[in-house]
């Protein structure tokens, strides 16, 4: 008689549950921009979508976890400054006035539609992205080999998408869609690392890095405390198994993150370090829309305790 390994059975069961939820998420995502979901109230939509993506009931009356509190903030924290901070072009004025223009990635141009771009005026390397969304960035490392038609399709599709309806992140709802071209940043490693500071009422309390985007097994998201000790959890994406070095300008990043996150219950402030210089990346109010699960789950509540509503 064969002996069944309980650990193997447990892992198989977890895998089956994961695959089933991925199928549910994939099917649900096809309806997010359809009237049946677009017409739901923010609260009803968030409760439904939270259950689909996170697998839990959303308690907006008494939120405890980090993800729950992000949903609460979407509905109740309507700071009028947030939309201009979420816009990838308008935020530059905020950065310039608060910490200085020297931290901004230089801009090549900004346009209302793809056909307005003068291709000949662009440098050999650049980054194109929309100003009103997330995930539209296209990196060009060699203009002579750049696929302009694919870029046109992606950018045009993104220009016509209002990402508010995906996660009900209200700062994005009324932004004007435009295209921005920035200088290409190269740190010499071929995979530009960004450093994302999780800030609570003006106090950075942890940081994570995004690395290995082009690896076979995909993006790695690795969390550290403020002493650069790796933290024992991951959120949706696996942590890197590689040694990630603390940036040389870490203290400067911490100082800037404190200033930029002042008087906000939670915000994520991103930076790059290139050739000994710090560059501002972006400001994010609801990382992963608050729909990315923690492993182990207790860390959802540990981070949730840091947000004071």
| Cα four-point dihedral sign 164, 168, 169, 173 | positive
pLDDT band at 4 (very low <50, low <70, confident <90, very high): very low
The DSSP symbol for 270 reads: E
Per the prediction, the chain carries an average pLDDT of 92
Where exactly are the structural domains of the chain? 35-103+187-309, 106-184
List pLDDT tens digits, range 46-103.
999 999 999 999 999 999 999 999 999 999 999 999 999 999 999 999 999 999 999 9
C-alpha torsion sign, points 104, 109, 114, 118: negative
pLDDT of 1 strictly over 60: no
**Number of residues that this document lists for the chain:** 309
Distances (CA, A) of 140 to 126, 174, 189, 195: 5, 29, 16, 22
Residues 223, 229: Cα–Cα separation, whole Å: 8
Residues 271-291 have pLDDT tens digits of 999 999 999 999 999 999 999
Four-residue CA torsion sign, 110, 116, 122, 126: positive
**Torsional sign, CA 240, 243, 247, 251:** positive
Residue 207's pLDDT is 98
Q: How far apart are CA 279 and CA 105, in angstroms?
A: 6
166 CB-side CA count, 13 A: 18
Report, as an integer, the average pLDDT of 155-179. Answer: 96
Report the pLDDT averaged over residues 119-148. 94
The domain 35-103+187-309 is classified under which CATH number: 3.30.470, 2.30.29, 2.40.50, 3.40.720?
3.30.470
Q: How confident is the model at residue 165 (pLDDT cuts 50, 70, 90)?
A: very high
Distance CA 28, CA 37 (A): 10
Encoded tokens for 76: 């109740």
Cα distance from N-terminal residue to C-terminal residue, the chain: 58
DSSP 283-309: EESSGGGG---EESTHHHHHHHTT---
Q: List pLDDT tens digits, range 211-252.
A: 887 777 788 999 999 999 999 999 998 999 999 999 999 999
């Amino acid at each position: 008689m064969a002996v069944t390994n309980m650990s193997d059975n447990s892992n198989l069961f977890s895998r089956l549950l994961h695959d089933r939820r991925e199928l549910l998420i994939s099917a649900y995502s096809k309806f997010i921009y359809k009237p049946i979901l677009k017409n739901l109230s923010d609260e009803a939509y968030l409760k439904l979508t939270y259950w689909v993506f996170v697998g839990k009931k959303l308690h907006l009356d008494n939120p405890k976890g980090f993800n729950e509190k992000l949903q609460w903030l979407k509905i109740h924290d309507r700071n009028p400054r947030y939309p201009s901070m979420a816009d990838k072009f308008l935020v530059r004025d905020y950065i310039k006035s608060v910490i200085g223009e020297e931290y901004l990635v230089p801009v090549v141009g900004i346009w209302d539609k793809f056909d307005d771009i003068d291709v000949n005026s662009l440098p050999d390397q650049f980054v194109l992205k929309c100003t009103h969304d997330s995930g539209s960035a296209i990196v060009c490392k060699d203009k002579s080999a750049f696929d302009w038609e694919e870029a046109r399709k992606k950018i045009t599709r993104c220009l016509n998408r209002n990402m508010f309806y995906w996660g009900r992140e209200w700062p994005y709802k009324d932004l004007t869609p435009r295209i921005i071209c920035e200088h290409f940043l190269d740190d010499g490693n071929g995979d530009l690392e960004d450093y994302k500071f999780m800030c609570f009422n003006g106090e950075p309390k942890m940081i994570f890095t995004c690395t290995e985007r082009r690896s076979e097994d995909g993006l790695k998201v690795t969390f550290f405390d403020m002493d650069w000790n790796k933290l024992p959890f991951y959120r949706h994406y696996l942590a890197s198994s590689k040694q990630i070095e603390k940036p040389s300008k870490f203290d400067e990043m911490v100082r800037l993150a404190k200033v930029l996150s002042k008087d906000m219950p939670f915000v994520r402030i991103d930076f790059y370090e290139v050739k000994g210089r710090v560059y501002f990346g972006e400001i994010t109010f609801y990382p992963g829309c608050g729909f990315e699960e923690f492993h182990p789950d207790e860390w959802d509540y540990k981070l949730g305790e840091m947000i004071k509503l």
